Amino acid sequence: METAVKNIDDYIALQPEKAQVFLEKLRQIIKATAPDAEEVISYGMPAFRYHGMLVYFAAFKNHYSLFPANSGLITAMKDELKMYKTSKGTIQFTFEQPMPVALIKKIVKERVKQNILKSKK
C-alpha cells in the first residue's frame, strides 16, 4: 500500500538516503531560483507552482528526474541536455554525476518566464 505524501519533506524522507541528498539539494536550488514559487505535491511528486506548474522532481532507483512541465523546453535545450537521458517531459540525472546546478537554474528561470508570459495572456 502506497502512502500518500502530504508535502516535500515527507516525500524526501521516504526516499533512500542517497537520493535524499540530491532531492534536498535540487529543492534548495529551485527555491533559491524561484523564491516566490509554492511547494506542492502533484501526481505524487514534489513540485513547485508559480503562475501555474513550474517544475516537478522525483527520485527513482538509479536516477532522479526533473520534469520541467513543458516538453518544448526539453526540445529547445536539446544541445545543453545531450549528456543526460531525456524524454518528452523529463530530464534524468544519475546519482554518480555531479548535479548540474547552473543548468537546473537555467531551466527553472526559463519556466518562470514562460509561466509569467502565459499568465499575462
Domain range list for the chain: 8-120
Q: Say how many Å lie between the first and final Cα of the chain, rounded.
A: 42
CATH number 2.40.50.140 given to 8-120? no
pTM of the predicted protein model = 0.93
Stretch 58-72: mean pLDDT: 93
pLDDT at 2: 52
Distance, in Å, from the CA atom of 37 to the CA atom of 54, rounded to the nearest integer, reads: 8
Sheet of strand 91-94: strand arrangement: 38-42, 45-49, 53-59, 63-67, 91-94, 85-86
Residue 107 has pLDDT above 70, yes or no: yes
The proportion of the chain whose per-residue pLDDT surpasses 70, expressed as a percent, equals 98
* Confidence class for position 1, pLDDT limits 50, 70, 90: very low
